[in-house]
Structure 1
Amino acid sequence: MKSDNPGKPIVFVVDDDPLVRGSVSSLLRSVGWDARVFASTSEFLAEQRPALPSCLVLDVRLPGVSGLDFQAELSKSDIRVPIIFLTGHGDIPMTVRAMKAGAVEFLTKPFREQDLLDAVKLALERDQSRIEADRASLVLKSRLETLTERERDIMGLVTSGLMNKQVAGKVNLSEITVKVHRGRIMQKMGAKTLADLVRMAEALNIRPPGS
Protein backbone atom coordinates (compact mmCIF):
# COMPACT_ATOMS: atom_id res chain seq x y z
CA MET A 1 0.00 0.00 0.00
CA LYS A 2 1.58 3.29 -1.06
CA SER A 3 1.89 6.20 1.31
CA ASP A 4 -0.44 9.18 1.10
CA ASN A 5 2.08 11.17 3.14
CA PRO A 6 5.59 10.50 1.82
CA GLY A 7 8.29 11.40 4.33
CA LYS A 8 5.99 11.29 7.35
CA PRO A 9 6.25 8.69 10.15
CA ILE A 10 4.38 5.51 9.33
CA VAL A 11 2.07 3.47 11.54
CA PHE A 12 1.57 -0.09 10.32
CA VAL A 13 -1.63 -1.78 11.48
CA VAL A 14 -1.97 -5.58 11.36
CA ASP A 15 -5.38 -6.93 12.36
CA ASP A 16 -7.55 -9.58 10.71
CA ASP A 17 -10.74 -7.66 11.62
CA PRO A 18 -11.53 -5.17 8.83
CA LEU A 19 -13.61 -3.04 11.21
CA VAL A 20 -10.67 -2.65 13.58
CA ARG A 21 -8.32 -1.89 10.70
CA GLY A 22 -10.68 0.76 9.42
CA SER A 23 -11.33 2.46 12.77
CA VAL A 24 -7.67 2.44 13.84
CA SER A 25 -6.41 3.75 10.50
CA SER A 26 -9.07 6.49 10.47
CA LEU A 27 -8.05 7.55 13.99
CA LEU A 28 -4.37 7.67 13.09
CA ARG A 29 -4.95 9.59 9.88
CA SER A 30 -7.18 12.08 11.70
CA VAL A 31 -4.11 13.31 13.62
CA GLY A 32 -1.91 13.42 10.53
CA TRP A 33 -0.06 10.12 10.66
CA ASP A 34 0.46 7.86 7.65
CA ALA A 35 -1.40 4.61 8.42
CA ARG A 36 -0.96 1.42 6.38
CA VAL A 37 -3.20 -1.54 7.12
CA PHE A 38 -2.72 -5.29 6.65
CA ALA A 39 -4.90 -8.31 7.32
CA SER A 40 -1.96 -10.61 8.11
CA THR A 41 1.68 -10.64 9.16
CA SER A 42 2.69 -12.02 5.76
CA GLU A 43 1.16 -8.98 4.06
CA PHE A 44 3.10 -6.73 6.41
CA LEU A 45 6.38 -8.53 5.70
CA ALA A 46 5.80 -8.15 1.96
CA GLU A 47 5.50 -4.37 2.35
CA GLN A 48 8.56 -2.30 1.50
CA ARG A 49 9.35 -0.25 4.58
CA PRO A 50 11.16 3.05 3.94
CA ALA A 51 13.82 4.30 6.35
CA LEU A 52 11.39 6.50 8.28
CA PRO A 53 10.25 6.45 11.89
CA SER A 54 7.54 3.81 12.18
CA CYS A 55 5.73 1.54 14.58
CA LEU A 56 3.46 -1.47 14.40
CA VAL A 57 -0.02 -1.74 15.89
CA LEU A 58 -0.43 -5.50 16.11
CA ASP A 59 -3.34 -7.72 17.06
CA VAL A 60 -2.35 -10.48 19.48
CA ARG A 61 -4.67 -13.12 18.03
CA LEU A 62 -4.12 -13.60 14.31
CA PRO A 63 -4.67 -16.53 11.95
CA GLY A 64 -1.54 -18.69 11.89
CA VAL A 65 1.24 -17.08 13.88
CA SER A 66 0.20 -15.17 17.00
CA GLY A 67 1.16 -11.56 17.49
CA LEU A 68 3.51 -12.52 20.33
CA ASP A 69 5.25 -15.15 18.20
CA PHE A 70 5.51 -12.66 15.37
CA GLN A 71 7.16 -10.20 17.75
CA ALA A 72 9.80 -12.86 18.47
CA GLU A 73 10.26 -13.54 14.73
CA LEU A 74 10.84 -9.86 14.01
CA SER A 75 13.45 -9.70 16.76
CA LYS A 76 15.29 -12.75 15.40
CA SER A 77 15.27 -11.22 11.91
CA ASP A 78 16.60 -7.91 13.32
CA ILE A 79 13.53 -6.06 12.08
CA ARG A 80 13.41 -3.30 14.64
CA VAL A 81 10.01 -1.70 14.84
CA PRO A 82 8.30 -0.64 18.10
CA ILE A 83 5.13 -2.66 18.69
CA ILE A 84 1.83 -1.71 20.29
CA PHE A 85 -0.34 -4.75 20.95
CA LEU A 86 -4.12 -4.79 20.71
CA THR A 87 -6.14 -7.66 22.13
CA GLY A 88 -9.67 -8.55 23.05
CA HIS A 89 -8.53 -11.37 25.31
CA GLY A 90 -5.52 -10.11 27.24
CA ASP A 91 -4.17 -11.63 30.43
CA ILE A 92 -1.28 -10.85 32.75
CA PRO A 93 1.20 -13.48 31.45
CA MET A 94 0.54 -12.35 27.89
CA THR A 95 1.09 -8.71 28.82
CA VAL A 96 4.27 -9.47 30.74
CA ARG A 97 5.70 -11.50 27.85
CA ALA A 98 4.99 -8.71 25.36
CA MET A 99 6.44 -5.96 27.54
CA LYS A 100 9.56 -7.93 28.45
CA ALA A 101 10.17 -8.46 24.73
CA GLY A 102 10.13 -4.70 24.20
CA ALA A 103 6.52 -3.82 23.38
CA VAL A 104 5.64 -0.16 23.86
CA GLU A 105 2.10 -0.81 25.09
CA PHE A 106 -0.48 -3.58 25.48
CA LEU A 107 -4.04 -2.30 25.03
CA THR A 108 -7.21 -4.29 25.59
CA LYS A 109 -10.14 -3.79 23.22
CA PRO A 110 -12.16 -1.66 23.49
CA PHE A 111 -9.39 0.83 24.21
CA ARG A 112 -9.49 4.58 24.71
CA GLU A 113 -8.52 6.39 21.52
CA GLN A 114 -6.21 8.71 23.44
CA ASP A 115 -4.39 5.73 24.96
CA LEU A 116 -3.61 4.42 21.48
CA LEU A 117 -2.55 7.86 20.23
CA ASP A 118 -0.26 8.33 23.23
CA ALA A 119 1.28 4.90 22.68
CA VAL A 120 1.86 5.56 18.97
CA LYS A 121 3.47 8.93 19.74
CA LEU A 122 5.84 7.26 22.21
CA ALA A 123 6.64 4.45 19.76
CA LEU A 124 7.43 6.85 16.91
CA GLU A 125 9.66 8.94 19.19
CA ARG A 126 11.47 5.78 20.25
CA ASP A 127 12.02 4.74 16.64
CA GLN A 128 13.21 8.23 15.69
CA SER A 129 15.82 7.99 18.46
CA ARG A 130 16.92 4.57 17.18
CA ILE A 131 17.31 5.89 13.63
CA GLU A 132 19.36 8.85 14.83
CA ALA A 133 21.57 6.57 16.93
CA ASP A 134 22.09 4.25 13.95
CA ARG A 135 23.07 7.17 11.74
CA ALA A 136 25.49 8.49 14.35
CA SER A 137 27.03 5.03 14.66
CA LEU A 138 27.55 4.82 10.89
CA VAL A 139 29.25 8.22 10.90
CA LEU A 140 31.58 7.15 13.71
CA LYS A 141 32.45 3.89 11.96
CA SER A 142 33.22 5.73 8.72
CA ARG A 143 35.49 8.13 10.60
CA LEU A 144 37.23 5.22 12.31
CA GLU A 145 38.02 3.76 8.88
CA THR A 146 40.14 6.85 8.14
CA LEU A 147 42.53 6.09 11.03
CA THR A 148 45.74 4.18 10.46
CA GLU A 149 46.43 1.08 12.55
CA ARG A 150 48.91 3.08 14.64
CA GLU A 151 46.33 5.81 15.20
CA ARG A 152 43.75 3.25 16.34
CA ASP A 153 46.25 1.86 18.84
CA ILE A 154 47.02 5.33 20.17
CA MET A 155 43.31 6.17 20.34
CA GLY A 156 42.76 3.07 22.46
CA LEU A 157 45.60 4.00 24.80
CA VAL A 158 44.70 7.69 25.10
CA THR A 159 41.03 6.97 25.81
CA SER A 160 41.97 4.39 28.46
CA GLY A 161 43.31 7.25 30.58
CA LEU A 162 47.02 7.17 29.84
CA MET A 163 49.05 10.37 29.58
CA ASN A 164 50.96 11.15 26.38
CA LYS A 165 54.25 10.15 28.04
CA GLN A 166 52.80 6.78 29.06
CA VAL A 167 51.37 6.20 25.58
CA ALA A 168 54.77 7.03 24.07
CA GLY A 169 56.38 4.33 26.21
CA LYS A 170 53.75 1.77 25.14
CA VAL A 171 54.22 2.32 21.40
CA ASN A 172 57.94 3.19 21.38
CA LEU A 173 57.46 6.72 20.04
CA SER A 174 58.50 10.11 21.31
CA GLU A 175 56.00 12.10 23.35
CA ILE A 176 55.96 14.80 20.66
CA THR A 177 55.07 12.22 17.97
CA VAL A 178 52.26 10.89 20.17
CA LYS A 179 50.92 14.45 20.52
CA VAL A 180 50.93 14.82 16.73
CA HIS A 181 49.09 11.50 16.30
CA ARG A 182 46.61 12.48 19.00
CA GLY A 183 45.85 15.75 17.21
CA ARG A 184 45.27 13.93 13.93
CA ILE A 185 43.02 11.39 15.64
CA MET A 186 40.92 14.16 17.19
CA GLN A 187 40.62 15.87 13.81
CA LYS A 188 39.73 12.72 11.87
CA MET A 189 37.18 11.59 14.46
CA GLY A 190 35.63 15.05 14.76
CA ALA A 191 36.27 15.14 18.50
CA LYS A 192 36.53 18.59 20.08
CA THR A 193 37.62 17.35 23.50
CA LEU A 194 39.18 14.27 25.05
CA ALA A 195 35.80 13.53 26.64
CA ASP A 196 34.27 13.44 23.13
CA LEU A 197 36.96 10.99 22.03
CA VAL A 198 36.41 8.78 25.08
CA ARG A 199 32.67 8.60 24.32
CA MET A 200 33.44 7.69 20.71
CA ALA A 201 35.85 4.97 21.80
CA GLU A 202 33.19 3.50 24.08
CA ALA A 203 30.59 3.56 21.32
CA LEU A 204 33.02 1.84 18.93
CA ASN A 205 34.35 -0.54 21.59
CA ILE A 206 37.92 0.68 21.02
CA ARG A 207 40.32 -0.81 23.56
CA PRO A 208 44.09 -0.50 24.12
CA PRO A 209 46.09 -2.97 22.01
CA GLY A 210 46.57 -6.30 23.75
CA SER A 211 43.65 -5.82 26.14
Structure 2
Amino acid sequence: MTRLTGTVYLIDDDNSMRDSLARMLRDIGYSIQDFESATSFLQNSLPVAPAVIVLDMQMPDVSGLDLMERLDKLGRKTPIVFLSGQSHPQQIVKGLKKGALDFLFKPFNINELLQAIDQALDYDHKQLKRNLKDGEIKRNFSSLTPREKEVCTLLVEGLMNKEIAERLGTTDATIKVHKARVMEKMQAHSLQDLVKFYLESNLA
Protein backbone atom coordinates (compact mmCIF):
# COMPACT_ATOMS: atom_id res chain seq x y z
CA MET A 1 0.00 0.00 0.00
CA THR A 2 1.31 3.43 -0.94
CA ARG A 3 1.25 5.62 2.15
CA LEU A 4 0.69 9.35 2.28
CA THR A 5 3.71 11.44 3.22
CA GLY A 6 3.36 13.82 6.13
CA THR A 7 4.35 14.61 9.68
CA VAL A 8 3.21 12.67 12.73
CA TYR A 9 3.30 14.55 16.03
CA LEU A 10 3.58 11.76 18.61
CA ILE A 11 2.69 12.83 22.16
CA ASP A 12 2.85 10.20 24.94
CA ASP A 13 4.39 10.28 28.42
CA ASP A 14 5.16 6.54 28.18
CA ASN A 15 8.77 6.71 26.98
CA SER A 16 9.02 3.11 25.79
CA MET A 17 5.71 3.31 23.90
CA ARG A 18 6.66 6.64 22.33
CA ASP A 19 10.15 5.54 21.34
CA SER A 20 9.00 2.28 19.75
CA LEU A 21 6.17 3.97 17.84
CA ALA A 22 8.45 6.79 16.67
CA ARG A 23 11.06 4.30 15.44
CA MET A 24 8.49 2.19 13.60
CA LEU A 25 6.77 5.17 11.97
CA ARG A 26 10.11 6.63 10.84
CA ASP A 27 11.04 3.29 9.29
CA ILE A 28 7.76 3.34 7.35
CA GLY A 29 8.58 6.80 6.00
CA TYR A 30 6.73 9.36 8.09
CA SER A 31 8.41 12.47 9.44
CA ILE A 32 8.17 12.26 13.24
CA GLN A 33 8.17 14.94 15.94
CA ASP A 34 7.79 13.20 19.30
CA PHE A 35 7.08 14.77 22.70
CA GLU A 36 6.75 13.44 26.24
CA SER A 37 4.08 15.96 27.23
CA ALA A 38 1.48 18.33 25.84
CA THR A 39 3.42 21.25 27.32
CA SER A 40 6.57 20.25 25.45
CA PHE A 41 4.55 19.96 22.25
CA LEU A 42 3.07 23.45 22.68
CA GLN A 43 6.48 24.95 23.39
CA ASN A 44 8.57 23.17 20.78
CA SER A 45 6.49 21.82 17.89
CA LEU A 46 6.93 23.28 14.43
CA PRO A 47 3.57 23.72 12.65
CA VAL A 48 3.58 21.91 9.31
CA ALA A 49 0.99 20.36 7.00
CA PRO A 50 -0.16 17.82 6.13
CA ALA A 51 0.20 16.38 9.61
CA VAL A 52 -1.57 14.39 12.30
CA ILE A 53 -1.32 14.48 16.10
CA VAL A 54 -1.23 11.01 17.67
CA LEU A 55 -2.06 11.89 21.24
CA ASP A 56 -2.29 9.96 24.50
CA MET A 57 -5.54 10.96 26.20
CA GLN A 58 -4.29 10.58 29.78
CA MET A 59 -1.14 12.56 30.60
CA PRO A 60 -0.03 14.06 33.94
CA ASP A 61 0.57 17.71 32.98
CA VAL A 62 -2.05 18.55 30.37
CA SER A 63 -4.63 15.97 29.26
CA GLY A 64 -5.28 15.16 25.63
CA LEU A 65 -8.65 16.91 25.71
CA ASP A 66 -7.13 20.01 27.34
CA LEU A 67 -4.47 20.13 24.63
CA MET A 68 -7.17 19.79 21.99
CA GLU A 69 -8.99 22.81 23.42
CA ARG A 70 -5.79 24.87 23.58
CA LEU A 71 -4.94 24.06 19.97
CA ASP A 72 -8.45 25.09 18.91
CA LYS A 73 -8.00 28.47 20.64
CA LEU A 74 -4.64 28.88 18.88
CA GLY A 75 -6.28 28.15 15.53
CA ARG A 76 -4.23 25.02 14.92
CA LYS A 77 -6.49 22.59 13.06
CA THR A 78 -4.17 19.59 12.76
CA PRO A 79 -6.33 16.43 12.96
CA ILE A 80 -6.01 14.34 16.11
CA VAL A 81 -5.98 10.59 16.68
CA PHE A 82 -6.35 9.74 20.38
CA LEU A 83 -4.67 6.81 22.11
CA SER A 84 -6.16 5.60 25.38
CA GLY A 85 -5.21 2.91 27.86
CA GLN A 86 -8.80 2.55 29.01
CA SER A 87 -12.29 3.44 27.88
CA HIS A 88 -13.70 6.79 29.02
CA PRO A 89 -17.01 7.14 27.16
CA GLN A 90 -17.64 10.75 28.19
CA GLN A 91 -14.15 11.82 27.12
CA ILE A 92 -14.49 9.99 23.82
CA VAL A 93 -17.81 11.67 23.06
CA LYS A 94 -16.37 15.07 24.02
CA GLY A 95 -13.30 14.52 21.86
CA LEU A 96 -15.34 13.46 18.85
CA LYS A 97 -17.61 16.48 19.24
CA LYS A 98 -14.53 18.70 19.21
CA GLY A 99 -13.27 17.10 16.02
CA ALA A 100 -11.00 14.16 16.89
CA LEU A 101 -10.80 11.85 13.90
CA ASP A 102 -10.30 8.55 15.71
CA PHE A 103 -9.75 6.75 19.05
CA LEU A 104 -7.55 3.70 19.48
CA PHE A 105 -7.31 1.73 22.70
CA LYS A 106 -4.03 0.29 23.95
CA PRO A 107 -2.92 -2.30 23.04
CA PHE A 108 -4.00 -1.46 19.51
CA ASN A 109 -3.44 -3.18 16.19
CA ILE A 110 -0.63 -1.41 14.33
CA ASN A 111 -2.53 -1.59 11.05
CA GLU A 112 -5.41 0.27 12.70
CA LEU A 113 -2.99 3.01 13.73
CA LEU A 114 -1.50 3.25 10.23
CA GLN A 115 -4.97 3.44 8.72
CA ALA A 116 -5.97 6.19 11.15
CA ILE A 117 -2.78 8.14 10.40
CA ASP A 118 -3.30 7.88 6.64
CA GLN A 119 -6.93 9.00 6.94
CA ALA A 120 -5.88 11.97 9.08
CA LEU A 121 -3.10 12.97 6.67
CA ASP A 122 -5.54 12.76 3.76
CA TYR A 123 -8.00 14.94 5.70
CA ASP A 124 -5.29 17.51 6.51
CA HIS A 125 -4.06 17.53 2.91
CA LYS A 126 -7.58 18.36 1.72
CA GLN A 127 -7.92 20.91 4.51
CA LEU A 128 -4.68 22.56 3.38
CA LYS A 129 -5.93 22.74 -0.21
CA ARG A 130 -9.21 24.28 0.98
CA ASN A 131 -7.36 26.86 3.05
CA LEU A 132 -5.09 27.80 0.15
CA LYS A 133 -8.09 28.12 -2.18
CA ASP A 134 -9.97 30.15 0.42
CA GLY A 135 -7.02 32.53 0.76
CA GLU A 136 -6.83 32.91 -3.02
CA ILE A 137 -10.56 33.70 -3.27
CA LYS A 138 -10.34 36.30 -0.50
CA ARG A 139 -7.35 37.96 -2.19
CA ASN A 140 -9.27 38.03 -5.47
CA PHE A 141 -12.30 39.56 -3.75
CA SER A 142 -10.15 42.23 -2.08
CA SER A 143 -8.89 43.24 -5.53
CA LEU A 144 -12.41 44.28 -6.57
CA THR A 145 -13.34 47.94 -6.50
CA PRO A 146 -16.14 48.97 -4.07
CA ARG A 147 -18.64 49.08 -6.96
CA GLU A 148 -17.48 45.68 -8.26
CA LYS A 149 -17.99 44.24 -4.76
CA GLU A 150 -21.54 45.60 -4.78
CA VAL A 151 -22.19 44.04 -8.19
CA CYS A 152 -20.64 40.75 -7.03
CA THR A 153 -22.89 40.62 -3.97
CA LEU A 154 -26.02 41.35 -6.01
CA LEU A 155 -25.08 38.72 -8.59
CA VAL A 156 -24.73 36.18 -5.80
CA GLU A 157 -28.17 37.19 -4.52
CA GLY A 158 -29.55 36.20 -7.94
CA LEU A 159 -30.34 39.61 -9.44
CA MET A 160 -30.22 40.08 -13.22
CA ASN A 161 -28.09 42.78 -14.87
CA LYS A 162 -31.11 45.03 -15.36
CA GLU A 163 -32.19 44.66 -11.74
CA ILE A 164 -28.68 45.45 -10.52
CA ALA A 165 -28.57 48.53 -12.74
CA GLU A 166 -31.84 49.77 -11.27
CA ARG A 167 -30.64 49.02 -7.73
CA LEU A 168 -27.38 50.92 -8.23
CA GLY A 169 -28.80 53.72 -10.36
CA THR A 170 -26.79 53.03 -13.49
CA THR A 171 -27.18 51.42 -16.92
CA ASP A 172 -27.40 47.81 -18.00
CA ALA A 173 -24.31 48.27 -20.18
CA THR A 174 -22.28 49.55 -17.23
CA ILE A 175 -23.30 46.57 -15.11
CA LYS A 176 -22.24 44.21 -17.90
CA VAL A 177 -18.77 45.77 -17.78
CA HIS A 178 -18.61 45.47 -13.99
CA LYS A 179 -19.85 41.88 -14.16
CA ALA A 180 -17.17 40.92 -16.68
CA ARG A 181 -14.48 42.43 -14.45
CA VAL A 182 -15.88 40.65 -11.39
CA MET A 183 -15.85 37.30 -13.17
CA GLU A 184 -12.30 37.83 -14.43
CA LYS A 185 -10.86 38.98 -11.10
CA MET A 186 -12.64 36.23 -9.16
CA GLN A 187 -11.48 33.63 -11.71
CA ALA A 188 -15.07 32.40 -11.96
CA HIS A 189 -16.06 30.66 -15.19
CA SER A 190 -19.77 30.83 -14.40
CA LEU A 191 -22.23 32.42 -12.01
CA GLN A 192 -22.37 29.06 -10.24
CA ASP A 193 -18.62 29.32 -9.61
CA LEU A 194 -19.01 32.85 -8.31
CA VAL A 195 -21.80 31.88 -5.90
CA LYS A 196 -19.78 28.87 -4.68
CA PHE A 197 -16.66 30.97 -4.06
CA TYR A 198 -18.64 33.71 -2.32
CA LEU A 199 -20.51 31.38 0.03
CA GLU A 200 -17.72 28.90 0.80
CA SER A 201 -15.26 31.70 1.63
CA ASN A 202 -17.86 33.64 3.64
CA LEU A 203 -17.34 36.89 1.72
CA ALA A 204 -20.59 38.48 2.90
TM over 0.5: yes
The CA deviation at 1:26 is: 2.2
Answer yes or no: is the 8 Å Cα contact 2:11–2:54 preserved in 1: yes
Given candidates 78, 86, 92, the residue that maps to 2:89 is: 92
3-state SS of 2:134 partner: helix
The CA deviation at 1:206 is: 4.0
Answer yes or no: is the 8 Å Cα contact 2:7–2:48 preserved in 1: no
- The residue number in structure 1 matching 2:77 is 80
The CA deviation at 1:91 is: 2.3
Given candidates 105, 117, 121, the residue that maps to 1:108 is: 105
- The residue number in structure 2 matching 1:60 is 57
Distance across 2 between alignment mates of 1:87 and 1:38: 16
- The residue number in structure 2 matching 1:187 is 184
- For 2:38, the aligned partner's letter is T
Given candidates 34, 38, 46, the residue that maps to 1:37 is: 34
**Cα displacement string for residues 125-162 of structure 1 (whole angstroms, at most 9, x for unaligned residues):** 11111111111111011111110000000111111111
3-state SS of 2:54 partner: strand
The CA deviation at 1:69 is: 1.4
Per mean C-alpha deviation after superposition, the further-off stretch among 26-35 and 108-117 is 26-35
**Cα displacement string for residues 21-80 of structure 1 (whole angstroms, at most 9, x for unaligned residues):** 112112322321111211111211122424321111111111222111111111122121
Percent identity reads 36
Runs of at least 5 residues in structure 2 that lack an aligned partner in the other structure? none
Per mean C-alpha deviation after superposition, the further-off stretch among 44-53 and 71-80 is 44-53
Q: Measured at CA, do residues 100 and 50 of structure 1 come closer, stay the same or move farther in structure 2, by a change above 3 Å?
A: closer
Please tell me the root mean square deviation across aligned C-alpha atoms, in Å: 1.3
Distance across 2 between alignment mates of 1:52 and 1:74: 15
The CA deviation at 1:99 is: 1.2
Q: After TM superposition, where is structure 1 displaced by more than 6 Å over at least 4 residues in a row?
A: none
- For 2:126, the aligned partner's letter is S
Matched, 1:9 2:6: yes
Distance across 2 between alignment mates of 1:50 and 1:76: 15
TM-score, normalised to structure 2, is 0.93
TM-score, normalised to structure 1, is 0.90
